[in-house]
Every structure is written in structure tokens, then in C-alpha cells.
Structure 1
């Protein structure tokens, strides 16, 4: 057994000097700095060395200087990185950390969002869906235009496209920078779009609802990956005859179905008895699946909202409500705020329901509290208008966003102090220049058809625009157009 009598303690080793000879140029740093590269990086294994016996690395010293600067400060001196620096980071297994640092979610500020990049798409079809992959590569995004899915890397410097068998893509989920999932109404299966980086992109695999191979995809959501659980995809399917529907959970490691949730059958002409979910969201902090869908008929719009604890039951939701008066145009869930939010299809106002107070079937007590203009909401609903029909709502971190035609409003939770104590309320503001329908060039803004949030970014797709807008709030945001 080797003697450890003269071995330095861990605390001494973490502050000891490491001398490196990189391509003939000497660098000096500490073992603690190199350890920030992570256990998978060869840099983390380099121990202290004297100046007369440095570690030798046969690499470009100019590029290594940028790598070392990033390890010391946690950020790049002049983002975005060049293709050469990205390749060097990949050599040292640092590309994940480097890319994630460019748009960290911690720097997201909705009131600081500004347009920073315009990503043109090939072809003549405008984008129908956009998605941003989750951490750690939060800024990489994918866009669907026609039957094509295009993936942009986290620095928006390069792109890869793949043609799917779908003519038009309605639903898109970015699981990771290497995997996106696409679905379409009236066309079977969930298409797996792979972007491996070191090989051609492919879209040759598909996932199906086991009991109905001809079923089409209405909505999708993915759980966050963890060390203890597999990552699941939840996909809402409807059969080709539209007489049955279900949410199916697939294990994305094995690509096999593991659970069927809330199967519905339509009997006769009673379509409202089995409205399929067209909006799925996963609340990781609550282990709940939000499934919502609506139907517009002669009597008006009717919708169902259900919350599922898939660990407890796949046939009985933990909470459900049937929406009739001012049914939702769109609904979203917030983990951090422990609440559901909806935009009324009639009123266009925003409503909130506290997840901690939901119980039963939601029929005896109205769970919604209007956080907008309550008087206007009541008056507009009574007049049977449809002011919120084209609105979208989404939750990201501690904020709630509402897309109204061409512009975006944001709701923030604030604390109000009074003699009775402190209470929390939601306050509205605008992203960018607010509800101005005219751009700086004097052109009218186009309606938002899809959007996504991730890292410090918001991505928008507008009707008839063959490009993706990227808005960023990070101090090191990318500027210019591609």
C-alpha cells in the first residue's frame, strides 16, 4: 500500500498551484479552479505541479486561455463563443457548462426582455410551433415549420433540420438538445427527431397509442429528468374516428408506453362527455399532471380541467372541474406559485386558482379568483363576447405570461403591506413596449401563434412570419440577426 504520510490534505490540494504547458505557453491556476470543470473533464484530474515540471497539453493556448477564464469567473469574457472555442470546450467536456452559462434561468427578468435575435427558417412555410429544451442547455430551441423540425444550438450559431413524415406539426416538445418530439392532429404517432450533433439528424421513429395505431396527437408534455426516476413523455391521443381518447405516458429511455391515463369513450352524439385534453403540463414540485381540453358547440364553449397524481390512480383525477361560464381559452400551471391560471374565452381576463385549496370535483365551489378587472369580466361574460378566444397563457418560474394577439403581458406576485398584515397579490405589466401594434418600421405586428420559455429567453413564432424571434434578458445576450 502506498504511503500517505506526505500526501497533502484535501484543503491543501484544493489551493495548490497547478502549472500547465499548453502548446508551449505556461499557465498557472489552482486545482480548485480546474475542479469546476466537473468530474467528467480531464482537467479535473490534474493535480498540483511545480513550475519546472508542468502538465503538458497539446492544445491551442489562445483557446485554452478562454477556457481557463471561464472556469475562473463562470462566464465568458465576450459571448457568444466562436465555433473553435465550442470545439475546445467539447474536447474538455465543458460544452454543457459553457452553453448553459450563456442563458441561465437565474438571470431571467421579464421586464428586461428585449428582442436579441431573429432566426430565419428555410422554406416557404411559417412556423407552427416552437420549444426550448430544459436545463442545463436551456437556450437551445427547436421550431416546426410545415413537416420540418429545425434545431438551433444554445448560442444560436448553428442549426440542423430534419424532415418528418408529418405534413404540418401542431405539437412540439424539446426534451434535450439532442431530442425533440413532434405531433400532429389527424396524423398518427409522436415523431422522435434526433439531433446527435456528430451524426445526421433523423426522424425515423414514432410512438403510438397502443390500442389505436391510427390515433393522432393533440398535446404533449415531458417530465424533468432526475437521478432517481426516468423521464416520461405524456401525450394526449385521439382516435381517428374521434370516439375515444387518452393520455399515454411513455418512458423516454425505453420508448415504451408505461401508463394510460383518463381513457374516455364517446357514446352517440354526446361529444361533451369525453372532451380530449389539448393542453398538458407537468408540475414536478407537486407530482401532478394538468390535462385540459375544451369544446365549442351550439350552446357555447365547455371545457374540462383535471389534475392527475399518476402515482395514485390513472383512472380517477385528484381534482377536476367542468368549465361553462367564461370557459378557458387557455390554462397553465405554476409549480413555484402553487396555482392554476386561465384566460377566460369570453372575458379575456386572467383568473387564478390556489392548488393548495382545491378539493373535490370543483362543482360546488368556484375555484377561480379574477386577478384582472372583475367588473369587466362579469359584464363581458354576460354579453357572450369572445374577447379572450385567441389568448395564450404560460407560466415560467415566478411569472405568468399572457399572449394577446401580437403582444405579451406578464403577471408578477408582489407583497402588499397594510395594517392588517402582509398579503400577496398579482400585478400586471408589459413585456417590451407593451400593447403597441406597430413596430419601429411602421409595420403592424403579427399575432403570436406559438411561444416558449427557457433559461433567460423567450422565443416567439408569429403568423405568416418565416422566422423565430428570440427575446433575452441576460446581460450577455446575443445580439444581431442570423
Structure 2
């Protein structure tokens, strides 16, 4: 129980509140609430505010979350901003600790302006930032705050954004095919100070910087780097470039490739990048389609050791990947076979070093017989499938549906081994095709997705909106 000396009495808009200095200190040093000392009901501190809204903020300080289901109202956010609590309030709305894949349900549908369907979506890393989300539609990049109640849009010079990366709630990076450099999208004056001192386009002098194919970031506060994959307009050279996100200056060029003659398979550019922080490895994967089939390269780079030779590499031919992702916590690389659509896993701890083409690293965690039959008959059942890793889970998008793979431990009598198990999350809302009696409900294909905080966000083909799935079930609603 708090001592009498720790009790603080507050007069907010004529209504009396009593709390403790410990509770008010949770507002943070930037909030005027944290500096209020003990006071009695006969001589309370006076605060100019709305007592109904302040009651919700005080409850938030006590419990660390809003007891009512988010998003908060615009009025509550304004009141939180008045007391310098808006950052903490927004950060609490989608905490990563609340992420529960099997509880994901559609919670909001965010319409986008214009006539162009979104081409890419990204979620701001959380923590330390609130888990805001960013969507690209045509030449426009739109940012929604963590409460999904405020949006800010910027117009880019890009004809259409192909790759998107959220750095903070105030800054995103965008790239497009056949358009040079990585473009900075600033949504407010709160973007990192260094961003104001650099050009709006990031590139490496002399590098094939005409096309940005993919981007990834280390996410480490001590050494935040951005990795971007570039390809020249003539498709005869490619490279990855690392930028320091503190200064926005280029640091190193990685894995430069040149095409000589017609041997395009010798220099397949990376169209998927990922960072394995626990292993200090950069994943780079790309594929090439030809009349003879699909061929792909997957490489792991330790840029502390070499920027020209990968520590591990595998050439994909039999059942090349439709998509690939890496998991730090599971110490593995996962892929969806382009031919079979089955999920495969490669244990990082068993991969060889030295930069050579390794032995077959993949273990099918799906239907192995079906995968072998599909590969031998050169089917294309995995085309368009997407795969992404988040914490201890692996997500796969198949058309309109989402499935999640989780690691489970077998019973002790079975040796205590860990295996991957498939679970279904669902497909979410459907769209109506046709009119009148001929109208049918159809699930639209997922074209891009991202994970952050307790949310999964995705976009679907020909739908001018962003779908938000949250671990806390809620009826889907339109946010205007």
C-alpha cells in the first residue's frame, strides 16, 4: 500500500483524482505528470484537461494498456499528446509480446485513396517504435499510426513502388524497378535528424543502382544498417549495398555480379533479403525463369569476413523456391517449392562453410512424396506462394489463404525431437465478384504482407485497402 507521502491529488477540469508518484513516473521524463510531487486533496495540483479522457490515461499508466479495445479515439490521442503520453500509448497498442499466431483475426480494413491497388506493405519495427504500418499504392506511400486512426501520405517520384521498408513511424524507404536509388519518405519532422542532411535518394557511386529489388535492416540500435539489392537497367550487373542508417551513408558493396554473354544464370540478382541478427548473416536469394525451368541462388553472407565471397551458397534447380525466408530463433532457412508448393527447411547449424555449393540441405516438412512427384513432373503449384518468419513461427500464403508452421516437441518416448507442425489461420474476408444472382464470394490472392507487434498486415489483388489482422479477436471494421 502506498504511503501518504507518495499520494498525489490532481484537479483535472474540476474533478478530483488521486494516484501515486510511482504511477505518474511511468509517464516518462518528457511528460509533465512525472514531475508532480505528493499533494493533498485540499491542495491538489491543477491540470487543464478533460477529466473523462484523463481517467483513461491514468488507467493506462496503472495497467500499462488500455482496458477498452483499441484503437483509441482521436480525442484520447490528442489528450495523450497534451501530456506527452502519445508515444507510450501508441507503443502499447500492438506489443510483440501479445503476438499469438493462432489467434490472429481480421480486425481492421484500411481503405487507400486513388484507383491503384497497393503493391507493397511494411510494418515499423517494434520496439522501440510504435508498430505503425506503411503501404505503397502507385506513386503514393501512406503511413498509419499504431492506433490506425491517423494517416499521412507522401508522393514519390517513382512510377510504382515495388519494395518498401519502414524504419520508424516517421520514415520509410521505397524502391522501384528501373528507377535509380532508395527513396526516403518522411512522414513528419520527427524523422531521424540525419535524414534531413542527406539526399532524398540513397545510392552507391558506381554500383548498378537502377533497380531496387529488395531491402532489409539489421534492426540493431548500436549498428543499424540497411541492405538494398540493386540491378542495372540492362540487367547485366547486380549488387547489394549496405547503408548506415545513422548517417544514411553507403558502407559497403556486397556480392557484385556481372553477366558475360548469355550466361544470365551466373549473375542472378537477389530479390529477397533477410537479416539473421543472432548469426550476423545476410540472406540473399534470387531466381531466374527460362524455357528450361526455374533456377535460383540462395546465399548467406558474413560481411565482416568478406563482401565478395558468401559463407554458404546453394543453387536451386529441381524444385526451385517460390519464396524463401530465414528464422533467427529457429536457426533455419525455409522455402516454398515453386513446383510442389511444399515447405522445406534447412538447418543453419548443418550448413557447410567455405562458399562452395553445399550438399542438398533441404528437408521437406510437408508432404515429401508429393514434393518429389511435383518436381519430377515440373509442375508450378507453388507459383505465387509467399513465406515469412516471425519469432518462432513460419507463415505461408497460398493464394488467399494463410497457414502457420510451429515447432513442437515430441513426447520423451519418441526421443524428445522437435518437429514442425502445420496449422491453419484462415483467409479472412471475401470479395464479391459479379452482380445479382450471379454474384459469388471470392477470396482475393495475397500479394504482399508484413509482421510487427501483435499484427499481421496484408494486401490482396485488385483491392484498394490494407487488411489488418490482430492477435486480439475483433469484428472487422472499415477505418475511414
Work out whether the TM-score is over 0.5: yes
For residue 143 of structure 1, report the CA deviation from its aligned partner. 0.9
| Residue 306 of structure 1, aligned match among 290, 299, 310 | 299
Per the alignment, residue 48 of structure 1 pairs with 38
Matches within 5 A, 1:53-132: 53-78=43-68, 79-132=70-123
Q: Which runs of 4+ in 1 moved over 4 A?
A: 11-15, 433-439
Per the alignment, residue 436 of structure 2 pairs with none
CA distance, structure 1, for counterparts of residue 429 and residue 357 of structure 2: 36
Alignment length (residue pairs): 466
Cα distance change on mapping 1:364 and 1:172 into 2, 3 Å: closer
Cα distance change on mapping 1:52 and 1:186 into 2, 3 Å: same
CA distance, structure 2, for counterparts of residue 223 and residue 179 of structure 1: 16
CA distance, structure 1, for counterparts of residue 101 and residue 90 of structure 2: 21
CA distance, structure 1, for counterparts of residue 431 and residue 409 of structure 2: 32
Cα distance change on mapping 1:389 and 1:65 into 2, 3 Å: same
Per the alignment, residue 374 of structure 1 pairs with 368
Per the alignment, residue 237 of structure 2 pairs with 244
Per the alignment, residue 462 of structure 1 pairs with 460
Match status 1:389 vs 2:383: yes
CA distance, structure 2, for counterparts of residue 148 and residue 386 of structure 1: 33
Given that residues 134 and 141 in structure 2 are in contact (C-alpha distance below 8 angstroms), is that contact kept between their aligned partners in structure 1?
yes
Residue ranges of structure 2 left out of the alignment (5+ in a row): 434-438
Given that residues 110 and 465 in structure 2 are in contact (C-alpha distance below 8 angstroms), is that contact kept between their aligned partners in structure 1?
yes
Per the alignment, residue 328 of structure 1 pairs with 321
Per the alignment, residue 355 of structure 1 pairs with 348
Cα distance change on mapping 1:295 and 1:252 into 2, 3 Å: same
Per the alignment, residue 141 of structure 2 pairs with 149
CA distance, structure 2, for counterparts of residue 249 and residue 48 of structure 1: 52
For residue 420 of structure 1, report the CA deviation from its aligned partner. 4.3
Per the alignment, residue 177 of structure 2 pairs with 185
CA distance, structure 2, for counterparts of residue 28 and residue 478 of structure 1: 36
SS in 2 for 1:431: strand
CA distance, structure 2, for counterparts of residue 319 and residue 398 of structure 1: 23
Cα distance change on mapping 1:73 and 1:316 into 2, 3 Å: same
Per the alignment, residue 216 of structure 2 pairs with 221
Match status 1:134 vs 2:125: yes
Given that residues 207 and 239 in structure 2 are in contact (C-alpha distance below 8 angstroms), is that contact kept between their aligned partners in structure 1?
no
Given that residues 312 and 357 in structure 2 are in contact (C-alpha distance below 8 angstroms), is that contact kept between their aligned partners in structure 1?
no
For residue 363 of structure 1, report the CA deviation from its aligned partner. 3.1
CA distance, structure 1, for counterparts of residue 188 and residue 205 of structure 2: 28
Match status 1:452 vs 2:450: yes
For residues 369-425 of structure 1, what are the alpha-carbon distances to aligned partners after superposition, in whole Å with 9 as ceiling and x for unaligned? 100000111111111111112111001111111111111111111111142431111
For residues 71-111 of structure 1, what are the alpha-carbon distances to aligned partners after superposition, in whole Å with 9 as ceiling and x for unaligned? 01112132321112112212322222211221222222222
TM-score by length of 2: 0.91
Per the alignment, residue 344 of structure 1 pairs with 337
CA distance, structure 2, for counterparts of residue 276 and residue 75 of structure 1: 45
CA distance, structure 2, for counterparts of residue 140 and residue 102 of structure 1: 10
Cα distance change on mapping 1:89 and 1:362 into 2, 3 Å: farther
CA distance, structure 2, for counterparts of residue 290 and residue 198 of structure 1: 31
Given that residues 283 and 334 in structure 1 are in contact (C-alpha distance below 8 angstroms), is that contact kept between their aligned partners in structure 2?
yes
Residue ranges of structure 1 left out of the alignment (5+ in a row): 1-10
For residues 300-355 of structure 1, what are the alpha-carbon distances to aligned partners after superposition, in whole Å with 9 as ceiling and x for unaligned? 21111111122222222221111111111110011111110001111111000111
SS in 1 for 2:88: helix
CA distance, structure 2, for counterparts of residue 49 and residue 273 of structure 1: 74
For residues 12-56 of structure 1, what are the alpha-carbon distances to aligned partners after superposition, in whole Å with 9 as ceiling and x for unaligned? 889821222223332211121112222332222223233333333
For residue 198 of structure 1, report the CA deviation from its aligned partner. 8.0
Match status 1:413 vs 2:389: no
Given that residues 92 and 130 in structure 2 are in contact (C-alpha distance below 8 angstroms), is that contact kept between their aligned partners in structure 1?
no
Cα distance change on mapping 1:479 and 1:280 into 2, 3 Å: same
